[in-house]
Structure 1
Amino acid sequence: MIRTIKTCVLGVGLAGLTFHVPFILALPEIFTLYAVLERNPQTEGGKVNERFGITPKIYRSLDDVLADKDIELIIVGTPNETHYEFAKAALNAGKHVLVDKPVTATSEQAKELGRLATSKRLVLYAFQNRRWDSDFLALKKLLAEPETSDKSLGEITDFESHFDRYRKGLKGTWKDQPLPAAGITYDLGAHLIDQALFLFGRPTRITAFIQNMRGVGDPTVDDSFTIIFHYDSGARTRYPLTVTLRAHCLSVRAPQVRYIVRGTRGTYTKFGLDVQEDQLKVISSPSAILEERYGMEPEYLWGTLEKIEADDLTVTKSIWPSADPGAYIDLFRNLGASIRGAESPSVKWEEATAVVEMIELAHRSASERVTVGVTAS
């Protein structure tokens, strides 16, 4: 019998209680929620007990966590500016590490952590969970359609990915503060960039517009961005490809545009966000994650295909279903298998490093008001 992985979650805010603790508890055959870092618990059992009725060990300092030899895996779900420091300390203590996105504030920090994990033969895994969004899984299937398929979009020439919302004021959290890795580009941009790199690889050039549109809070903390990845025609595609990644803080449309993908034979359009985050915020028991309807997107949000027929005159419209449920739990299954040596990580650390590198280049493009080149990996 394979022993479970004793896990400590650093931070029991939104990230810890919504995106990490429920999955650790939902997979008792792989993980044990052994401890959490909660510096100022308001009750004897802490926040995990308040929500899920489970009482792990509660540590109040990182040093105490690192000194516990029973802990195998540390999940870093603390504010962005702590990711590098906490992950490095955990690796030096001989622990496997799952780091929330963005993994670090700089690509050099990410590279350093990658080298450290390799030298110590430890798993260092990036929490790029939105690769397991229901609509992204559907999109991957669509783009994998063979060119001979009547569902194929042909050569992709234009790709738009949006994460818009309407929020006039500040949240009143650390995310509003001018700290390392602050702002929406590091936050939501990390998701959109990761998906784009996964689908299309590194761009040739980047043009970006990053700003504090609302004019509230610290002006250096951005709340909106438009990032354009330019891909030249060549080995990857016969046509130039433009990828536009966008997050807007004052968009009032509901449901929001999520994807618009244009190809030489058709267009795919998708509205609305994956439902898992909303479900995770309200579940009372982690077992709900394993229920059949968990992660299933409602049919009214499924994407549509508009296809050009062979006569180049007729346009047909059909539904492209998000038939597979969203599955953040598969990230954790893969994480556990990677720690036990049964699988390789689905999210490579080099990929997470590339996300931070693209964010750095986007900020440079925006601040200098130029298009910047991207070196080969």
Structure 2
Amino acid sequence: MAPIKTCVVGVGLGGLTFHVPFVLALPHLFTLHAVMERNPAAPGGKLQARFGEQAAKGVTIHRSFDAVLADPEVELVVITTPSETHYELAKRALQAGKHVLVDKPVTAHFSQAQELGALAKSKNLVLYAFQNRRWDSDFLTLKKLLALPADHPKSLGTLFEFESRFDRFRTELKGTWKDLPLPANGLTYDLAAHTIDQVLVLFGRPQKITAMIENIRGLGSKEVDDCFTIYLHYPPRPAAKGLQPTSFTAVLRGHILSVRSSQIRYVVRGTQGTFLKYGVDVQEDQLKVIPSPAGIVQDQAYGVEPEDIWATVENVGPDGKVVKSVWPTTERGQYIKLFENVAAAISEGAEQLVKWEESAEVIELIELAYQSAREERTLPVPPRA
């Protein structure tokens, strides 16, 4: 089928780093028909400034969302604008008969996400959430470790704690819309949207949730959080080797005042071992400086994690002693898989690898986390409807 004519709405860091490069890197699947930039400073706008005249050649610059919706050539709208706008823009695009890929957080409220899902279904349109970190190299590699049989020497055994972190050290505000007390702003919406999604992929829906969320620096509006700890409580898991069934908790953390040269990413503890990982997937840093989108496909170094941040696994050996070994990040980061699946869902009716209901569930849990923090109590997570 013909490439899908795509408009990327928003050409800030998100649009030019996480979306435009993949649309351009997959010309057999997508055509970058247009971008929305309200006040381009020069012909070709930010797209040309970032990727050159050839990349911007033939690309329409729409200056309003009304113009995007009125363009009959646009088949797919990619929404990468401030978080508070996601619901309204996605709704209008669906009503106009466009397929939609929307950045996370998909909405501010669970009810809004449900509404969008129902609207897309009623119009037989693809509505897709940009949960790109399902294709982080370390997450893909960790999934392989967790899939090992219990008798494998590097198996972690029965898990009792899974910790996932996105920590940073930043003592000042960024000076962007993310600092403002607007719907869906704050570190929890920004980063827990990723960590919750990964936990749901691995372990499914929890039974209870406990959260602590705050503005720990005391900068800007107190309503815009910069620190979170979220506990997702799961039912006990049967343990191996005659041990009693254990409780299982997923601990999700994001801290803005973490002074480290290499931040902790994962700590996974089980009855037979512990997995420890520092550093983050390299794709974001690579995409910020990549000279040509073709490098996503052609550059053998793209998505490959350096050995100095590979994980370690410590297991209890047959003699009862702890054995430490490296767990190599053998999987390449593959954000491109998300875009390939978006195209297949639109062109072929393929099953979505990121189902909209799953991303709506992320927003549901974020809202419950904020409620738990406000009320200072553990809340039950209602069974899936």
| Amino acid paired to 1:9 | V
Query: TM-score, length-normalised on structure 1?
Result: 0.98
**Aligned 1:122-161 pairs, distance under 5 A:** 122-161=125-164
Give the Cα–Cα distance (whole angstroms) in 1 for the partners of residues 341 and 309 of structure 2.
28
Equivalent position of 1:86 in the other structure: 89
| Amino acid paired to 1:218 | S
Q: CA deviation at 1:234?
A: 5.4
Give the Cα–Cα distance (whole angstroms) in 2 for the partners of residues 140 and 232 of structure 1.
21
Q: CA deviation at 1:150?
A: 1.7
Across the aligned residues of Structure 1 and Structure 2, the Cα RMSD in angstroms comes to 1.2
Q: CA deviation at 1:66?
A: 0.5
Q: CA deviation at 1:376?
A: 1.1
Equivalent position of 1:32 in the other structure: 31
Matched, 1:327 2:347: no
Unaligned runs of 5+ in 2: none
Query: What are the superposed Cα offsets for residues 45-100 of structure 1, whole Å, 9 maximum, x if unpaired?
Result: 11111111222100011111101111110000000000000000000011110000
Equivalent position of 1:277 in the other structure: 284
Equivalent position of 1:310 in the other structure: 318
Equivalent position of 1:248 in the other structure: 255
Give the Cα–Cα distance (whole angstroms) in 1 for the partners of residues 358 and 13 of structure 2.
24
Equivalent position of 2:186 in the other structure: 183
Q: CA deviation at 1:342?
A: 4.9
Secondary structure, aligned partner of 2:294: helix
Matched, 1:115 2:118: yes
Q: Report if aligned partners of 2:238, 2:246 keep a CA contact under 8 Å in 1.
A: no
Equivalent position of 1:43 in the other structure: 42
Unaligned runs of 5+ in 1: none
Q: Which moved more, 1:174-183 or 1:287-296?
A: 287-296
Q: CA deviation at 1:362?
A: 0.3
Q: Report if aligned partners of 2:158, 2:238 keep a CA contact under 8 Å in 1.
A: no
Query: What are the superposed Cα offsets for residues 28-58 of structure 1, whole Å, 9 maximum, x if unpaired?
Result: 0100000001001111111111111222100
Give the Cα–Cα distance (whole angstroms) in 1 for the partners of residues 111 and 329 of structure 2.
37
Q: CA deviation at 1:199?
A: 0.7
Structure 1 moving runs of 4+ over 6 Å: none
Give the Cα–Cα distance (whole angstroms) in 1 for the partners of residues 303 and 186 of structure 2.
28
Query: TM-score, length-normalised on structure 2?
Result: 0.96
Query: What are the superposed Cα offsets for residues 130-152 of structure 1, whole Å, 9 maximum, x if unpaired?
Result: 00000000011111111222221
| Amino acid paired to 2:185 | A
Q: CA deviation at 1:235?
A: 8.1
Give the Cα–Cα distance (whole angstroms) in 2 for the partners of residues 88 and 235 of structure 1.
44
Secondary structure, aligned partner of 2:196: helix
Count of aligned positions: 375
**Aligned 1:221-370 pairs, distance under 5 A:** 221-233=224-236, 238-290=245-297, 291-311=299-319, 313-370=320-377
Give the Cα–Cα distance (whole angstroms) in 2 for the partners of residues 236 and 101 of structure 1.
36
| Amino acid paired to 1:269 | L
Secondary structure, aligned partner of 1:340: helix
Matched, 1:10 2:9: yes
Q: CA deviation at 1:274?
A: 0.6
Give the Cα–Cα distance (whole angstroms) in 2 for the partners of residues 271 and 240 of structure 1.
25
